[in-house]
Amino acid sequence: MPVVTVSGMWGSGARDVGQLVAEILGIDYVDQEIMVDAARRLGVSAESLAGRDERCLGFRERLAKMLSNFLERSAVAGAGDPLMGSGGLEVLLARSYADLGAEARTAAQELDDVLYVKTVSVIIDELSQKGNIVILGHGGQMILRDLPHALHVLALAPLKLRIERFAEREQVALEEAGKRIHDLDRGRAAFHRKFFKVEVNDPALYDLVVDTGRLPYPVAAEVVALAARAKEAALRS
Q: What's 136's domain CATH number?
A: 3.40.50.300
Q: Distances in Å between the alpha carbon of 59 and those of 40, 90, 135?
A: 15, 17, 13
pLDDT in tens, the chain (237 residues): 899 999 999 999 999 999 999 999 999 999 888 888 887 777 554 445 444 444 445 787 778 888 877 777 765 455 554 454 556 778 788 887 877 777 666 776 777 788 888 888 988 998 898 889 999 988 999 999 999 999 999 999 999 999 999 999 999 999 999 999 999 999 999 999 999 999 999 999 999 999 999 999 999 999 999 999 999 888 777
Domain range spanning residue 225? 1-27+131-232
Domain assignment of residue 50, yes or no:
no
Domain assignment of residue 37, yes or no:
no
Between CA 21 and CA 192 the distance in angstroms is: 24
For 27, the 3-state DSSP assignment is coil
Domain assignment of residue 66, yes or no:
no
Domain assignment of residue 188, yes or no:
yes
Q: Distances in Å between the alpha carbon of 189 and those of 157, 192, 196, 199?
A: 16, 5, 10, 7
Helical axes 174-196 vs 107-130, angle rounded to 10°: 90
For the chain, the domain total comes to: 1
Domain assignment of residue 93, yes or no:
no
Instruction: Report if pTM > 0.95.
Output: no
